[in-house]
Homo-oligomer: A and B are copies of this chain.
């Protein structure tokens, strides 16, 4: 049974705070191991990557076979059914269209004194996308990471994807091909992150690394941060559904389970002002858990971290949701737009009962890489912005410098930065004819 709370109960605030503070993930401390692997890859390059791949992935590589060849990719991709290909292509088209709208504009404007100010956006030169091997090797994540990079204009896009025992998911290769990825390395773990960050003889270094991974990958990303850019360190998935009671309880049950089935540490929360509906949805979840393929995982998640909260009204539901700051928020209510206006923190909002969260995972268009663990309070999902950076621009005229230079000089002196002040004063002196 999930946690069942009612806001009118005396113990509610304590129970809700406990729910918010719940530690869902045990991060094994792999930092020392990861530090050693990174040092080894920096020191020995290809040789270290090849040895570590033999050890961890039971795969013998050479510098020549680190990357898939075009023929190898073509052979794997040929195994994909026409239906699966069409679905991936529809997803790619929609994701591309959504992210194209995110491209920010350059600006440059002129002030009355002739000064020009503005900024300019440029893409990172090269990006590396990590794609886990095995069960969590999701072609949809390839699209969600690679397409924003391509839209941003990244010139070189590399994937690192371990292939334990040589086994690869053809859909991952197809997704990479559709997204326009340039090279796919059959390497994984901390060694792959180190190779992408520092480069080896056969693997060119990149400037930004994104994508999910296990504890070793996460620790390696933290360690190379600064040398390269990284995206967020994602935690287990979460969904919060606010429902007024008019959406089919089975639909909501399936939406809750679609997060729970990801991971035993995932969290699914239902908030509703309708106590009877809360019980109906809970029963529908139990019913679906009897037959669901991943019922062991989904059942553990729902039992340990699931929660059903009955509120006085929808306004109170929105306020609680804002304290959770969920990764995914479904508003299964009659007027989702009005309720959405009350939401201040959420990674993605799905408006109305006809918008299951799973649409956003695949074909909706928005990115499915979203802030977890309450980080929607201060961060955003993956976007083209993650592959761009802004250069600010300033161009003074003599008139502009005469107008604002003295204030700069004064502040420089107040901060005891004499050369700063002199660099302005020397120019002002020229204008004044004193020098």
Interface residues of A (CB under 8 A from B): 83-84, 86-88, 90-91, 94, 98, 101-102, 104, 107, 109, 116-117, 119, 122, 124-125, 135, 138-140, 171, 207-208, 226, 228-229, 233, 248, 250-251, 254-255, 257-258, 260-262, 288, 292-294, 298, 336-337, 340, 343-367, 370-371, 373, 375-381, 383, 385, 389-398, 400-401, 404-408, 410-412, 414-424, 426-427, 430
Quick check: A124 and B377 within 8 Å, CB to CB?
yes
Query: Which residues of B have CB within 8 Å of A107?
Result: 101
Residue numbers in B under 8 Å from A88 (CB-CB): 411
Extra inter-chain contacts (4) besides given A351-B394, A363-B404, CB under 8 Å: A94-B404, A171-B414, A248-B426, A383-B390
Least distance between A13 CB and chain B CB atoms (Å): 16
Report the 7 A-B pairs with minimum CB-CB distance, sorted nearest first. A229-B378, A366-B392, A351-B395, A254-B423, A87-B407, A358-B420, A380-B390
25 A–B contact pairs at CB < 8 A? A88-B411, A90-B404, A101-B109, A125-B345, A207-B377, A208-B378, A226-B373, A226-B375, A229-B375, A251-B427, A260-B419, A261-B418, A261-B419, A288-B419, A349-B391, A354-B397, A354-B401, A354-B427, A359-B424, A362-B412, A366-B392, A376-B391, A378-B389, A381-B392, A383-B390
- B residues in contact with A393, CB < 8 Å: 340, 348-349, 351, 366
- Contact call A344/B419, Cβ cutoff below 8 A: no
